Chain A
């Protein structure tokens, strides 16, 4: 069974640009969550989607957005990139009841903003 797939693996952008990251969950999983990981702040929750609806959102500016498609694949977008957006972006999937089930993480997209 294939795991969570994130593309691209690495990305280099310049300030002011925008970027789109992709996440394909495990087959049958309907929930996709996104996290940002930095050395200073650690892992921080961005948002979660379930059946194409945003179910929860973290404390990030509106430049961070996401969506989920009918096949459960998800994308997140960051507009007007800032240097501080450099981070490892991780997505995780689950069947949809994360209060009693494990989250399965992808390998992440390493974003560098120059």
Chain B
């Protein structure tokens, strides 16, 4: 059974700092891994999707990596800004779900960037 763990649960940093969010998963048999952002009381916004065959994806100040052999993914945020404050969730799409939209989510990391 796929389990996804995110560390730390919460993080507070000063503006401008580079930071790394961690995600680990127990089953490496995944189609892809996605990183999402969720603002309070809102839905999820997809940030990056890494296919199983890929090692990393980049979008602006965000870079996500995937290491299936160790069951880990990281989200790197460069030059953090107060607007980056949100909860960040990673989710794996396991082989066991077939070609469907069943994602297994971590509990998230709540990030606060202080001005």
* Chain A residues proximal to chain B, CB less than 8 Å: 4, 6, 31, 33, 35, 42-45, 48, 50, 55-56, 58, 88, 90, 92, 94, 97-108, 110
Query: How many residues belonging to B are interface residues under a CB distance threshold of 8 Å?
Result: 27
Interface pair B89/A33, CB less than 8 Å apart: no
**Given A31-B100, A56-B101, A103-B44, 12 further pairs, Cβ under 8 A:** A42-B105, A45-B102, A45-B104, A90-B43, A97-B99, A99-B32, A102-B46, A102-B49, A103-B103, A104-B46, A105-B45, A110-B41
Complex CA gap A36/B105 in Å reads 11
Interchain CB contact (< 8 A) of A106 among B43, B101, B103: B43
Interface pair B101/A48, CB less than 8 Å apart: yes
Chain A residue with Cβ nearest B46: A102
Complex CA gap A6/B41 in Å reads 13
Q: Chain B 82-115 against A: per-residue CB contact (8 Å), 1 yes, 0 no? A: 0000000101010001111111111110000000
* Minimum CB–CB distance for A90 against chain B, Å: 6
Interchain CB contact (< 8 A) of B108 among A33, A42, A92, A103: A42
Chain B residue with Cβ nearest A91: B43
Chain A residue with Cβ nearest B94: A99
Complex CA gap A31/B102 in Å reads 11
Is residue B51 within 8 Å, beta carbon to beta carbon, of the partner chain?
yes
Interface pair B101/A94, CB less than 8 Å apart: yes
Chain B residue with Cβ nearest A107: B43
Interchain CB contact (< 8 A) of A56 among B41, B46, B98, B107: B98
Is residue B76 within 8 Å, beta carbon to beta carbon, of the partner chain?
no
Measured between beta carbons, the chain B residues less than 8 angstroms from A102 are: 34, 46, 49
